[in-house]
Amino acid sequence: MTDSNETTTAPETDAAPQQQAPASSDAVATLEAEVASLKDQLLRSMAEAENTRRRAQKEREDTAKYAVSGFAKELLAVADNLRRAIEAVPAETRAGSEQVNTLLTGVEATERQLIAAFDRAGIVKLEPMGQPFDPNFHQVVAEVDGTDKPAGTVVTILQPGYTIQGRLLREAMVCVAKAGPNSAKVDTSA
């Protein structure tokens, strides 16, 4: 009798694993999908963290590069005034007075030191004379008649412009050649 009991229970145990096999494969598929989803989330999170790190690094670099911009703008007026002082003294006055010559030599030395400090900070003076008007770097103050230059060419620099690390610090204030009667008008608005 024990043999018959064993035979009757054996088919039941064989049937149970067959019923669990489809459930196990469903569970495995679900777990694999969840693992794939979690891997995707992990990769996205890692990419976002890397992008955040790069953005923060760039912000630190930009802050270091352009931290002196406000101070540099104020020093541009000093550079302008040093140049005006040098240009205000006629050559004959300078040659006729040793004191004036000595004073101007000191002003020129101060200007050279300031320009060297600008160079170290990445501040570059714009030299637009004879170049076409560029609204990104120039501000037109006036148009001048009677020049032999093409319309829109910078003919006078009233105030020099500067860049810092390639970024505009101050526009150059310029006068440009006026369009002749047969020339197209230059757009001087920015």
How many separate helices (H) and strands (E) can be counted in the chain? Answer: 4, 6
In this structure, the answer to whether residues 186 and 170 fall within a common structural domain is yes
pLDDT digits (tens, 9 = 90+) for 109-168: 999 999 999 999 999 999 999 999 999 999 999 999 988 889 999 999 999 999 998 899
Among candidate residues 121, 138, 156, the one where a domain is terminated: 121
Look at residue 181 and tell me whether its pLDDT is greater than 60.
no
Residues 137, 115 contacting (CB under 8 angstroms): no
pLDDT confidence band for 87 (50 / 70 / 90): very high
Question: Tokens 């610090």 appear where?
Answer: 169
pLDDT digits (tens, 9 = 90+) for 167-176: 999 999 999 9
Domain CATH for 130: 2.30.22.10
Burial bucket for residue 139 (CB in 10 Å: 0-12, 13-18, 19+) = middle
Counted domains in the chain: 3
pLDDT digits (tens, 9 = 90+) for 100-111: 999 999 999 999
Task: Work out the mean pLDDT of the chain and round it to a whole number.
Answer: 85
In this structure, the answer to whether residues 73 and 59 fall within a common structural domain is no
In this structure, the answer to whether residues 133 and 153 fall within a common structural domain is yes
In this structure, the answer to whether residues 74 and 61 fall within a common structural domain is no
Among candidate residues 48, 67, 86, the one where a domain is terminated: 67
> HSE on the CB side for 131, CA within 13 Å?
13
Domain around 96: 69-121
Strands (E), 22-122: none
Strands (E), 21-171: 123-125, 138-144, 154-159, 162-164, 167-170
| Predicted structure pTM score | 0.64
Burial bucket for residue 101 (CB in 10 Å: 0-12, 13-18, 19+) = middle
